[in-house]
């Protein structure tokens, strides 16, 4: 079955790692979210259960294993997300882009969504690498309002994330961009509306709120 195949290929999915209650529904619709570039993050966001520390070296064969598993499972839609990799010069952008390109090669009918880190400490060119690989959807979660960043998302910068989404659209006007926002952390209604306005100004196509 799906779980056994992923385990045999040594692949991580957010569906399993986060014990998502919707795993049955998504997998039945042939949707899956893959967590690539390891399971140790260089950041320590308050809302995330992924371990923080020094990640291992990138596995150069992971993009191919992901692509072949998607081909074998005949997935309709796949989301590629990752830990933050501030230890890498490009933040892991080339690894993400390579995974996208191999999925396109082995599973051309599968739509691909990338849910990226912010690449705050990466050298220039990271976003270009990903956009040039032509995913169907570019996603980067804003997560919370600016006043809560030091608590919820330390190490990240609100306006850098807004600019990242805007820049992705500037690089490819046809790409579908989206973001995600958590509520219930003490933010005000005015702050939420301001985030929505900021994302609208950045030409973000879709926002999920949870």
CB 161 within 8 A of CB 145: no
Q: Name the pTM for this structure.
A: 0.87
Are the beta carbons of 73 and 107 closer than 8 angstroms?
Answer: no
- Given this model, what pLDDT does residue 28 score? 54
Which helix (H) or strand (E) covers residue 152, if one does? helix 149-152
pLDDT value for 55: 92
To which H or E segment does residue 80 belong?
Answer: strand 77-82
Q: What is the pLDDT of residue 87?
A: 95
Dihedral angle at the C-alpha atoms of 72, 76, 23, 37, nearest 10 degrees? 70
> Would you give per-residue pLDDT tens digits along the chain (210 residues)?
555 555 555 556 554 444 444 444 444 567 888 999 998 888 888 777 778 899 999 999 999 999 999 999 899 999 999 999 999 999 999 999 999 999 999 999 999 999 999 999 999 899 999 999 999 999 999 999 999 999 999 999 999 999 999 999 999 999 999 999 999 999 999 999 999 999 999 999 999 998
| Exposed / middle / buried, residue 21 (Cβ in 10 Å: 0-12, 13-18, 19+) | exposed
| Residue whose structure tokens are 């390579």 | 98
Residue 46 near residue 52 (C-beta atoms within 8 A): no
């Amino acid at each position: 079955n799906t779980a056994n195949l992923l385990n045999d290929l040594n692949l991580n999915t957010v569906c399993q790692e986060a014990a998502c209650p919707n795993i049955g529904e998504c997998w039945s619709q042939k949707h899956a979210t893959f967590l690539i570039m390891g399971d140790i993050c260089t950041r320590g966001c308050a809302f995330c259960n992924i371990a923080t520390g020094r990640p291992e070296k990138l596995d150069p064969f992971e993009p191919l294993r992901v692509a072949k598993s998607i081909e074998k499972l005949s997935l309709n839609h796949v989301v590629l997300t990752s830990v933050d990799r501030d230890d890498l010069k490009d933040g892991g952008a080339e690894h993400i882009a390579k995974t996208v390109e191999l999925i396109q090669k082995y599973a051309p009918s599968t739509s691909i969504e990338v849910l990226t880190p912010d690449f705050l400490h990466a050298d220039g060119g990271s976003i270009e690498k990903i956009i040039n690989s032509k995913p169907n959807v570019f996603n980067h979660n804003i997560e919370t309002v600016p006043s809560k960043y030091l608590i919820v998302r330390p190490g990240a910068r609100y306006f850098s994330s807004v600019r990242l989404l805007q820049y992705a659209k500037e690089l490819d006007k046809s790409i579908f961009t989206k973001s995600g926002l958590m509520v219930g952390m003490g933010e005000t209604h005015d702050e939420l509306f301001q985030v929505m306005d900021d994302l609208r100004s950045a030409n973000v196509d879709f926002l999920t709120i949870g």
